Structure 1
Amino acid sequence: MTSRYREIAEEIRERISSGAYARGKRLPPQKSLADEFGVSQPVVQRAVMALRTEGLVRIERGTGTVVHEIKPIVRNATARYTKTAREQGQSRGAFATEVRSLGHVPHSKLVKLGPATPPAEIAQIFQFGRDDIAAIRHRHMTADETPVQIATSYVPWTIAKDTPITQEDTGPGGTYSRLEDLGHRVTRFTERIRTRPPSEEEADFLRLGEDQQVYSVLHIAYTEDGTPVEVTQHVMPTFQWVLEYEWAAD
């Protein structure tokens, strides 16, 4: 038999889906919900906490329970890196195109830019020597004003130095279009995906609780000869993103 709190959570979930509880707006007070459903407040509280873990709502001190503003964003790993998708509407990359398709305004705040020694895992992908460095672009990314992603990209400094890749605005199409301009056209990608708890810095920016997790996507871009020319670490709340993949059968 379904637990009562699960039934209440499902009803609230359906109301959010239908728009009866609008995104960005507060839920009714837990006492009101308890009266409506004929249960104690702890039962409603348990239902709300389950929805919070899912990322459908968040609890704000002094405000109450708020429906999360942004619907899950579909990240089609096959389609998002085409030149058309990257440059659509003068976008600075695939992220901006994805967010605009949902009717939201994308924004990417550059937190760190310049030459840096990459983490060991990424240095190994580039087959760096001890003294090799990369251009780093560490961004905090939002849809409207809601944080939805952290992305940290690396390009070998020998490629990126004195190019738009090391500037705040890389231009239409973002880094991949600039790599193509420089004669390093990307023809293949790989991604390694895992889920994990967020770091303290990640949880703070993404507004995550201890019971929520992130996708950690290690994205690697290769040129036709198999040379890795860019690596990006994407960190995204699991509730905020749907990872979609498509490919042709033999």
Structure 2
Amino acid sequence: MSVVETPRARYRQVAEELRNAIKRGEYQPGEMLPSQPELARKYGLNQTSINRAIALLRAEGLVRVEHGRGAFVQLVPTVKRTRRVPRPGGNGSSFADEMRKAGLDPRTELVSLRTDPAPVGVAERLGLDEGGPVVVRERHMFASERPVQLAISYIPLTVAGSEDIAVPDVGPTGLYKRLAERGYVVTRFVEEIESRRAHPNEAGFLGLTDAQQVLEVARVVFAGEQPVETVVNVFPAQQWRLSYEWNAEGAGLT
């Protein structure tokens, strides 16, 4: 029988041991962990404590729980999202580029394309009056058919001209080329990153529990001083690593 030391909460120690075993490859993706009675005997704990340990791993996205069967190790590929400041070529890498670099097969699904009144936060980012018309483009992204990202972008209708600017959907590079053809040459990007709990629709698509965290990256795209698009990207926090790079020269470092 394994001995779990105190004073740290014992179920957390069990979760840490199982987490490390998963990371070492002792339990492979799709493999079932030992049953709760087996784990209770191994660690000398009751099943309530073991259940709490499994719940921690589930909240982290490391396992999925199938009622009546047990806890199974999740396949969680890590994807690196790289941004360089300044960006060579102006637009940076696309979702498809990032997936291919990770050895994954990318696919993007256009969920909705419509014209709506701008919500308050969107209107503020775009410098519009609340309710001003915006072209809304919602997309779901997949890596080797696994849901990995949601993206929703808003373009002022006065900038877009019509919804046709987003058809066909060829990612940001194609969109920015079309904006340039309308006289809006993209010159600058501003991103804000927030860690928060997944909303129900996000959790449903990404296969997360309501306790799991997502990263929300809200980007504003500028042509000169004019905001021409804002995009909200949502990623499972445990699955993505954000990487930013910039030159020290001219960065105001002391």
TM-score normalised by structure 2 residue count: 0.80
Q: Distance in 2 between matches of 1:174 and 1:66?
A: 41
Aligned residues: 243
Aligned counterparts of 2:126 and 2:172: Cα–Cα separation in 1: 26
CA contact (8 A) 1:79 1:85 kept: no
Alignment partner of 1:230 is 2:236: no
Q: Distance in 1 between matches of 2:179 and 2:58?
A: 41
C-alpha offsets along residues 86-107 of structure 1, whole Å, 9 cap, x if unaligned?
5xxxxxx622222222222222
Give the whole-Å Cα distance in 1 for the aligned partners of 2:86 and 2:57.
Answer: 29
Name the SS for the 1:218 alignment partner: strand
Q: For 1:185, what is the secondary structure of its paired residue?
A: coil
User: Equivalent residue of 2:245, what SS?
Assistant: coil
- 147-156 vs 123-132, which moves further: 123-132
Q: For residues 35 and 82 of structure 1, what CA distance do their matches in structure 2 show?
A: 57
Cα distance in 1, alignment partners of residues 76 and 91 from structure 2: 21
Residue 186 of structure 1 pairs with residue 194 of structure 2: no
Aligned to 1:89: none
- Residue 95 of structure 1 is matched in structure 2 by 95
Q: Percent identity?
A: 39
147-156 vs 17-26, which moves further:
17-26
User: Can you list the C-alpha shifts for 1:12-37, whole angstroms capped at 9, x where unaligned?
Assistant: 21222122222344333333333444
1:71 aligns with 2:70: no
Structure 1 stretches of 4+ with a deviation exceeding 6 A read none
Q: Indicate if the aligned counterparts of 2:218 and 2:231 stay in contact, CA closer than 8 A.
A: yes
**Counterpart residue identity of residue 19, structure 1:** G
RMSD over aligned CA atoms reads: 3.0
Match of 2:128 in 1: 128
Q: Give the Å deviation of 1:108.
A: 2.0
* Residue equivalent to 1:90: none
Unaligned 5+ runs, structure 2: 1-6
Amino acid paired to 1:135: V
2:228 maps to 1:247: no
Choose 1 or 2 for highest CA Rg. 2
Give 1:77's aligned amino acid: R
Q: What's the CA shift for 1:220? A: 0.5
Amino acid at match of 2:194: R
Give ranges in structure 1 of 5+ residues lacking alignment.
87-92
Shift of 1:167: 1.1
* 1:79-158 correspondence runs (5 A): 83=89, 94-129=94-129, 132-158=132-158
Partners in 2 of 1:85 and 1:105 — Cα distance?
21
User: Per the alignment, in what secondary structure is the counterpart of residue 26 of structure 1?
Assistant: coil
Question: Which of 7, 13, 16 is the matching residue for 2:13?
Answer: 7
Provide the C-alpha distance between the structure 1 equivalents of 2:149 and 2:67, rounded to a whole number of angstroms: 23
User: Which whole-Å CA distance do the structure 2 matches of 1:85 and 1:125 have between them?
Assistant: 20
CA shift for structure 1 position 73: 2.4
| Alpha-carbon separation, structure 1, partners of 2:72 and 2:175 | 36
